[in-house]
Homo-oligomer: A and B are copies of this chain.
Amino acid sequence: MVDINFFPPEKDDIVNAAHRIAPYIRRTPVLTCDDINERYNTELFFKCENFQQAGSFKSRGACNNLLQLTPEERQRGVCTHSSGNHAAALARAAKLFGTKAFIVMPQNSEKVKIEAVRNYGGKIFFCEPILEAREAALQQIQQQTGAIEIHPYNNLRTITGQATACKELIEQCDDNLDLIIAPVGGGGLLSGTALSARYFGNNIRVIAGEPEGADDAAQSFYSGKLIPVRQPNTIADGLRTSLGSYTFPIIANYVYDIYPVSEEAIVAAMKRIFDKMKIVVEPSAAVALAVVMENVSKFIGKKTGIILSGGNIEVRRMAEILGG
């Protein structure tokens, strides 16, 4: 049993966040695919956050944070360290709401994600791709600029914002889902999903998908202790981070189970989504479908929401991954 020694977002917080961010994000569509449903004898409902502003669900948390800054905070600017999607979402939100974004990015971030941050006018600082270097660089920026840190996941306003995706999904499926699967990296999306399923759904079980090569969430979940990831090894570049002090307790209490998925299954899921659904998802977003593909029997006859978290990938990189 993991204790929650803080006040997690309540139902009203998520409802308020949904209203707050509505003008600045998209109510993304929910798509279905007969080919995939027939193949696995199941019913899947894909929440297309790959169509979200700035290409991922991260725009929800970023907007929810920036809309609650005081004028004085807005004056100082915002900062974060992120390998990509949160960085782009924060840079976009900063531009939208008239503040500055200072972003620490690991040198090995995907090129398309670096360009997205630049295009939104974010100021980038590169660092070594390890957590210590990211944190040190961020601290330096904060000291120099006084910018407010907006954490990519271990922040209650971030979690509350991400929770709005699941709220929409449940509404769009007329609260008719048995299960919802979300990918887990730092756990912002997953913890928000678990809260929304609890508040807005009727007995919906939330399952996480996690790459085998970065299975800190599963280890933490089963041991009841927050275990950081060491040397993550996965193409799912958005899922290489560890759970945080806010996300872990929420996940430990409200998520039903965490399934590891192989790299092969992630690639196969990306390919199936491209070929059969004709939509573009990044590797991290394919993880939820990979869970179904590797555990078919568990989903037979069930109605399952699948959160496609983002679509920021270049076509060349995609061809490399799918061609291999």
Residues on B with C-beta less than 8 A from A318 are: 315, 319
Q: A53 at interface (Cβ–Cβ under 8 A)?
A: yes
Residues on B with C-beta less than 8 A from A51 are: 31, 277-278
Q: A298 at interface (Cβ–Cβ under 8 A)?
A: no
CB distance from A270 to the nearest CB of B (A): 9
Residues on B with C-beta less than 8 A from A71 are: none
Q: Would you call the interface of chain A mostly helix, strand, loop, or mixed? A: helix
Residues on B with C-beta less than 8 A from A8 are: none
Inter-chain contact A278/B280, CB cutoff 8 Å = yes
Q: A84 at interface (Cβ–Cβ under 8 A)?
A: no
Residues on B with C-beta less than 8 A from A29 are: 29, 31
| Cα distance A29–B172 in the bound complex, in angstroms | 14
Q: How many copies does the complex hold?
A: 2
Inter-chain contact A278/B311, CB cutoff 8 Å = yes
Inter-chain contact A316/B311, CB cutoff 8 Å = no
| Cα distance A26–B316 in the bound complex, in angstroms | 30
| Closest residue of B by beta carbon distance from A320 | B319
Q: Residue-by-residue, is A112-147 near B (CB-CB < 8 Å gives 1, otherwise 0)?
A: 000000000000000000000000000000000000
Inter-chain contact B315/A55, CB cutoff 8 Å = no
**Residues from 5 to 49 in A contacting B, C-beta threshold 8 Å:** 26, 29, 31, 34, 48
Residues on B with C-beta less than 8 A from A322 are: 315-316
CB distance from A119 to the nearest CB of B (A): 10
| Closest residue of B by beta carbon distance from A310 | B278
Inter-chain contact A53/B34, CB cutoff 8 Å = yes
| Cα distance A279–B316 in the bound complex, in angstroms | 15
CB distance from A31 to the nearest CB of B (A): 7
Q: A50 at interface (Cβ–Cβ under 8 A)?
A: yes
| Closest residue of B by beta carbon distance from A271 | B315
Residues on B with C-beta less than 8 A from A315 are: 271, 274, 315, 318-319, 322-323
| Cα distance A181–B184 in the bound complex, in angstroms | 41
| Cα distance A84–B280 in the bound complex, in angstroms | 22
Inter-chain contact B55/A278, CB cutoff 8 Å = yes
CB distance from A47 to the nearest CB of B (A): 13
| Cα distance A55–B274 in the bound complex, in angstroms | 11
Residues on B with C-beta less than 8 A from A278 are: 48, 50-51, 55, 279-281, 311
Residues on B with C-beta less than 8 A from A323 are: 315-316
| Cα distance A315–B274 in the bound complex, in angstroms | 8
**Residues from 258 to 282 in A contacting B, C-beta threshold 8 Å:** 271, 274, 277-281
Residues on B with C-beta less than 8 A from A271 are: 315
Identify the A interface with B (CB < 8 A).
26, 29, 31, 34, 48, 50-51, 53, 55, 271, 274, 277-281, 311, 315-316, 318-319, 322-323
Could you list 18 examples of A-B contacts with CB < 8 Å? A29-B29, A29-B31, A34-B53, A48-B278, A51-B277, A274-B280, A274-B315, A278-B279, A278-B280, A279-B279, A279-B280, A315-B315, A315-B318, A315-B322, A315-B323, A316-B322, A316-B323, A319-B319
